């Protein structure tokens, strides 16, 4: 699974300067390494699964974003994608919110 978080300055006219923040968190399949080879045995995988997130439970992730003091409007987009085989991914959840700040 891949969680992508981006923040954009939507008041900026130049698309190259719009991106303010971008980060990604990746969760790998239990028991496999980056090359798809098995790293653990069945009993080790069972122990890991017993300690992981259970069904109907949620997990919160935090990303610290710092913006310049002259930015008034920020659009934050979050996408959670599920990759079955490493190449083909489907977005399972996406959310976009706009935040406006008052400048003194």
Higher pLDDT, 74 or 1: 74
| Residue 55 pLDDT | 74
| Residue 86 pLDDT | 64
CB distance 61 to 23 below 8 Å: no
| Residue 5 pLDDT | 97
pLDDT tens sequence across 6-25: 999 999 999 888 999 999 99
Helices and strands, counts by H and E, the chain: 2, 4
3-state secondary structure of 17: helix
Q: Is the entire prediction scored with pTM above 0.85?
A: no
| Residue 89 pLDDT | 82
pLDDT tens sequence across 37-90: 777 777 777 777 777 767 777 888 899 999 888 899 999 999 999 887 667 889
CB distance 67 to 20 below 8 Å: yes
Higher pLDDT, 29 or 6: 6
Question: How far is residue 13's CA from residue 84's CA, in Å, rounded to a whole number?
Answer: 37
Q: How do the domains of the chain map onto residue ranges?
A: 2-100
């Amino acid at each position: 699974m891949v969680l992508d978080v981006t923040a954009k300055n939507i008041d900026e006219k130049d698309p190259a300067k719009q991106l303010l923040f971008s980060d990604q968190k990746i969760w790998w399949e239990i028991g496999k390494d980056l090359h798809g080879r098995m790293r653990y045995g069945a009993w080790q995988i069972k122990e890991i699964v017993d300690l992981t997130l259970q069904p109907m439970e949620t997990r919160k992730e935090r990303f610290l974003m710092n913006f310049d003091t002259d930015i008034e409007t920020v659009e934050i987009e979050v996408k959670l994608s599920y990759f079955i085989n490493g190449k083909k991914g489907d977005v399972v959840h996406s959310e976009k919110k706009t935040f406006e700040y008052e400048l003194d």
